[in-house]
Structure 1
Amino acid sequence: MAGPVYMLLGIGLFGLLDAISKTLAEGYVVWQVLLVRFVTILAVVFALRAVRPGWGGVLSTRRKRTHLARALAMLGSAGCFFMAFRALPLSEGYLVFFTSPFFILAFSPWLTGETVPRAAWGWVAVGFAGVAMGLAPGLLGGAAGGIEGYAWAFAGTICYALVFVLNRSLRSEVGLARVLVWPAVLGVAVMLVPGLVNWRTPDAAALALMVANGVIVGVATAVLAEAFRHADAARLAPFGYSGLVWSVGFDLAIWGYLPGWPTVAGAAVVVLACVMSERAAQKPAGKS
């Protein structure tokens, strides 16, 4: 049970990260929040390496282009979801995020050469129907903030799917240092100028939350890595959908928001479609 326990903890930490980001989005721009996050990640990693030389493994890599692409996708995912949660409840953003396995299937033939069976694509269609069901009230209501939020959430989900596929091509590289440092370096480079130009001096509580975001990202990444060390992806995948429970819990505890039945029903359809599409994709060729 070690793998599932680590997986649940890691998903919970990322849920907490999103809740803090949504709180900060009410008063601070994305540039500033992400700048502090990435600076914190670098500070923590190099502090650990100073105390324990070599912590996290080597920083050099022969796969520079792949790491750059991964860092760009991670930066896009972080920025897009920050913008999405400015306008959306966490539960609705997570409903969109749960479509990431469908985008992973779409990217896999292109980036890894894997073949996706027709049955898997059928479940992808079912999954997007579930998303349409869950998002229908917001879309039909015509709320500009909601529509914009959904667009940001889909963009962030596409970026996340790219990160996941690129992680597969980097699985031969061990150690946490590279996967934390290079995206953070790119993040600081991109966020530095707009972050300083748009800087709003935070109070002690807001600054603590911004720094906590950086720490949470590092801890959550380490915890998920530990989960996959104890169990394979097939066993852990269903536990990833616990993110909906965390999102609903944070929505209710912090903002007093409880999702309506279309969101819950749509999420159930999406989760079912994700599980079935992954099963279909894993079956040997020629099996129905």
Structure 2
Amino acid sequence: MSAASPANLRGSLFMVLAMAAFSLEDMFYKSATGDMPAGQALVIFGGLGLAIFVALALLRGQPPVTAAMLGRGLLLRSAIELFGRVFFALALAYSDLSSTSAILQATPLVVALGAVVFFGEQVGWRRWLAMAVGFAGVLIVLRPGTDAFSAGSVFAVLGMLGFAGRDLATRATPMAVSNLQLGVLGFTVLTVAGGVIMLAFGETAVMPTAPGLAKLGAAALVGVLAYNAITVAMRTGEVSVVAPFRYTRLVFALILALVVFGEQPDWPTLAGAVLIVGSGVFTLLRGARVSS
């Protein structure tokens, strides 16, 4: 299939749409944490998204929950995703959107490393070098041992590791589970993650304000849009063509961080982001070339 084929073009456009929507989801959630505790905001956000996916499943004549969703593979995936969701939500609440989003871009690199460790995939020296460069980029963003180091960025690293583990565990997901049912499961995990944060950090729930609820409602709507768009993207075009467009998420995040929160990432953060994105794109493209 040509890189410029209609299927690849459609898949790439849906991937860009998904990344824009995920960035808006992060922005709305982070903004809502200014009105209420992070855990409470995640419970409300997850609950709203869960309700939307349940309604969509029922409208399509699908049961929102099936026995296949309780299989060992999906339970493992959900447990790992719970870990990632907890720490990514904390990172959004207590760290800059720009640095959190930059660190998140290292997920494909960790997935590639995990494929070597857990699935015995073969990796040549070029991809090993690319992964090393990407991880160096993460260290540049973090800058441990300096005054620029933010403890909140550690949450972003832990969240990124959780998401990478979820992606690896997805290999065990049975095809009998539909996209809408996976959405139900995913937003259930979000809701539980909010409860975990509230219990672990001793958060006390407050009466949500109308603006806060509106932000979380918007986050749920764009989150559902993002989930469906990325599913269409990955099932339409070739992975080697479509997947690198995941990195447009960082561009959207940097714009929103500047416009909405007034963040101005310094040069080390931007340089680290370039290394992470560049090495990630190379790893994806090189992996596709080797496997073809």
The TM-score, its normalising length taken from structure 1, stands at 0.86
Aligned-pair distance for 1:121?
1.7
Q: Which residues of structure 2 form unaligned runs of 5+?
A: 1-8
- Describe the shift of the 1:224–1:20 C-alpha distance in structure 2 as closer, same or farther (beyond 3 A): same
Does the aligned pair in 2 maintain the 1:60–1:178 contact within 8 Å? no
Q: Please give the residue correspondences for 1:249-268 in structure 2 after superposition, counting only pairs within 5 Å.
A: 249-268=255-274
Amino acid at match of 1:221: Y
Between stretches 168-177 and 13-22, larger displacement belongs to: 168-177
Q: After superposition, what is the alpha-carbon deviation per residue over 1:4-50, rounded to whole angstroms, capped at 9, x for unaligned? A: 11100100111011111211223322321121122212211222234
Aligned-pair distance for 1:229?
2.0
Identity of aligned residues (%): 25
| Aligned equivalents of 2:119, 2:49: Cα separation in 1 | 30
Give the structure 1 partner of residue 13 of structure 2. Answer: 5
SS at match of 2:68: coil
| Aligned equivalents of 1:50, 1:171: Cα separation in 2 | 20
Aligned-pair distance for 1:284?
4.2
| Aligned equivalents of 1:80, 1:18: Cα separation in 2 | 13
| Aligned equivalents of 2:47, 2:232: Cα separation in 1 | 24
The TM-score, its normalising length taken from structure 2, stands at 0.85
| Aligned equivalents of 2:12, 2:48: Cα separation in 1 | 28
Give the structure 1 partner of residue 168 of structure 2. Answer: 165
Amino acid at match of 1:28: M
Q: Is 1:124 aligned to 2:124, yes or no?
A: no
| Aligned equivalents of 2:85, 2:242: Cα separation in 1 | 23
- Describe the shift of the 1:156–1:192 C-alpha distance in structure 2 as closer, same or farther (beyond 3 A): closer
| Aligned equivalents of 1:191, 1:272: Cα separation in 2 | 33
Amino acid at match of 1:19: M
Amino acid at match of 1:101: P
2:116 pairs, out of 76, 86, 109, with 109
Q: Which residues of structure 1 form unaligned runs of 5+?
A: none
SS at match of 2:67: coil
SS at match of 1:247: helix
| Aligned equivalents of 2:69, 2:60: Cα separation in 1 | 24
- Describe the shift of the 1:223–1:55 C-alpha distance in structure 2 as closer, same or farther (beyond 3 A): farther
Amino acid at match of 2:139: A
Amino acid at match of 1:211: G
| Aligned equivalents of 2:170, 2:216: Cα separation in 1 | 26
- Describe the shift of the 1:140–1:112 C-alpha distance in structure 2 as closer, same or farther (beyond 3 A): same
Give the structure 1 partner of residue 31 of structure 2. Answer: 23
1:37 pairs, out of 45, 48, 61, with 45
RMSD between aligned residues: 2.7
Does the aligned pair in 2 maintain the 1:36–1:214 contact within 8 Å? no
Q: Is 1:218 aligned to 2:218, yes or no?
A: no
1:175 pairs, out of 173, 178, 181, with 178
Amino acid at match of 1:163: R
Q: Please give the residue correspondences for 1:8-87 in structure 2 after superposition, counting only pairs within 5 Å.
A: 8-54=16-62, 59-61=66-68, 64-87=71-94
Does the aligned pair in 1 maintain the 2:82–2:193 contact within 8 Å? no
Amino acid at match of 1:162: G
Between stretches 21-30 and 47-56, larger displacement belongs to: 47-56
Aligned-pair distance for 1:183?
3.2
Does the aligned pair in 1 maintain the 2:42–2:89 contact within 8 Å? no
Q: After superposition, what is the alpha-carbon deviation per residue over 1:54-103, rounded to whole angstroms, capped at 9, x for unaligned? A: 288x7331771111122222222222122112332222112211111221
Q: Is 1:228 aligned to 2:234, yes or no?
A: yes
- Describe the shift of the 1:71–1:61 C-alpha distance in structure 2 as closer, same or farther (beyond 3 A): same
Give the structure 2 partner of residue 133 of structure 1. Answer: 140
